[in-house]
Amino acid sequence: MGQNAFNDTFLKACRKEAVPYTPVWYMRQAGRYQPEYREIRKKYSFFEINENPEVCAEVTRLPVEQLGVDAAILFADIMTPLQPIGVEVDMVSGKGPMIRNPIRSLADVERLHSIHPEQSLPFIGETIQLLREQLSVPLIGFAGAPFTLSSYLIEGGPSKDYHKTKGFMYARPKEWQALMDKLADVTVEYLLYQIRSGAQAVQVFDSWVGSVGAEDYEQYIAPTMTKIFTALKQTGIPTIYFGSGTAHLLNIWNGLPVDVLSIDWRISIDEVRALGIEKSVQGNLDPSMLLAPWELLKNKVTAILDQGCKQPGYIFNLGHGVFPEASVETLQRLTQFIHDYTKK
């Protein structure tokens, strides 16, 4: 633990306990908007950072020290646990993950191995242990959800419409279920390993599942997510489920054994509460607003905080990730404002 007293406001908010001010962290808070990150990336590739505990811990700590946020998120990618199961992935600058051997058949699903994270990802456990010694805020571990992981595996890279992914889901339900089962095992084993290593909360990223309608989500995806969150619940560690464009799924999500629902800007927190959702809520500033004039940004954030703070169980965040054009100064000022405004 660091020299300062441990700041547990984030964990308290996850558990719907009273907090002295609203905790805040930003999705993708380590990345190319930071000059220091860009410098480190000149020396190391993405996966080289990920696999070097000293450097990976440094990159994870950077936004905590620079912005004053109330939680750290392990620097890694949703693709990190896929390499050990036999997925050949390249991180292409400006694009994202590209898969050299996409999934097209049951044989492709069957050739994916199971995961033994202690053996294949020792650097993740080492980074987490190092961070727990260095940080005075909680460390969030994370993994991708099966639908979002499968979208890369099936499309072969980033996509806008997920036609191939959903086509596979509708046309080959048996293969789809086999893939969901395999990826659910990877997600659970990888997250349990992060928790054993010291992660104090875990977030499951289902960034692209909003592309699926509610009935289809219920049929093809919800059973897998129930399995994942049920397995994680045994640990007692808070769990967060994130998606974008998922307002139509929130009623179903509310029935999952997960603690915190992360929402984007397409629905307000008041609307979420009006659905009868009592779980903790995380969100929901449109990241594009980071480019707005300060007064406009401040008014928007004030409105979000007024809604979020009506009951315990609220964590400020963006509705999706920080992007390279965002500025460190704006995020610093925003963090300070959120803390000051909610202290009164």
Could you give the residue numbers annotated as active site?
28, 32, 41, 77, 152
Radius of gyration of the chain measured on its C-alpha atoms: 19
CB of 29: closest distance to ligand 1CP in angstroms?
Answer: 5
**Quick one: which of 66, 209, 193 has its CA closest to 149?**
209
CB of 41: closest distance to ligand 1CP in angstroms?
Answer: 5
Nearest-angstrom CA–CA distance, 14 and 26: 15
CB of 83: closest distance to ligand 1CP in angstroms?
Answer: 13
CB of 52: closest distance to ligand 1CP in angstroms?
Answer: 14
Q: Which is nearer to ligand 1CP, 28 or 298 (CB)?
A: 28
Nearest-angstrom CA–CA distance, 103 and 165: 10
Say which DSSP state 203 is in.
Answer: E
Site of interaction with ligand 1CP (CB under 6 A)? 27-32, 41, 46, 73, 75, 77-78, 91, 93, 96-97, 142, 158, 205, 207, 320-321
Q: Is 339 known to sit in a ligand binding site? A: no
CB of 25: closest distance to ligand 1CP in angstroms?
Answer: 9
Identify the burial level of 94 via C-beta atoms within 10 angstroms of its C-beta, where 0-12 means exposed, 13-18 middle and 19 or more buried.
exposed
Nearest-angstrom CA–CA distance, 244 and 242: 7
Q: Which is nearer to ligand 1CP, 62 or 184 (CB)?
A: 62
Q: Is 190 known to sit in a ligand binding site? A: no
Say which DSSP state 97 is in.
Answer: E
Q: Which is nearer to ligand 1CP, 224 or 246 (CB)?
A: 246
Nearest-angstrom CA–CA distance, 37 and 272: 35
Q: Which is nearer to ligand 1CP, 71 or 192 (CB)?
A: 71
Q: Tell me the residue number closest to ligand 1CP, measured at CB.
A: 96
Give me the long-range contacts of 43-52 (CB less than 8 A, separation at least 24): 45/91, 46/77, 46/91, 47/83, 47/91, 49/75, 50/75, 50/76, 50/77, 50/80, 50/123, 51/123, 52/123
Q: Is 29 known to sit in a ligand binding site? A: yes
Q: Which is nearer to ligand 1CP, 93 or 114 (CB)?
A: 93
Q: Which is nearer to ligand 1CP, 7 or 60 (CB)?
A: 60
Q: Is 31 known to sit in a ligand binding site? A: yes
Q: Looking at the DSSP assignment, which residues form a beta bridge with residue 96?
A: 92
Q: How far is CA 320 from CA 39, 79, 206, 307, in A?
A: 24, 18, 11, 19
CB of 278: closest distance to ligand 1CP in angstroms?
Answer: 26
Length of the chain as a residue count: 344
Q: Which is nearer to ligand 1CP, 22 or 127 (CB)?
A: 127
CB of 98: closest distance to ligand 1CP in angstroms?
Answer: 10
Q: Is 26 known to sit in a ligand binding site? A: no
Q: Is 273 known to sit in a ligand binding site? A: no
Say which DSSP state 248 is in.
Answer: G
Nearest-angstrom CA–CA distance, 89 and 221: 24
CA angle 37, 153, 45 (to 5 degrees): 25
Q: Is 270 known to sit in a ligand binding site? A: no
Nearest-angstrom CA–CA distance, 64 and 29: 9
Q: Is 172 known to sit in a ligand binding site? A: no
Nearest-angstrom CA–CA distance, 27 and 286: 12
Residues that constitute the known binding site for substrate: 28-32, 47, 77, 152, 207, 320
Binding residue positions:
28-32, 47, 77, 152, 207, 320
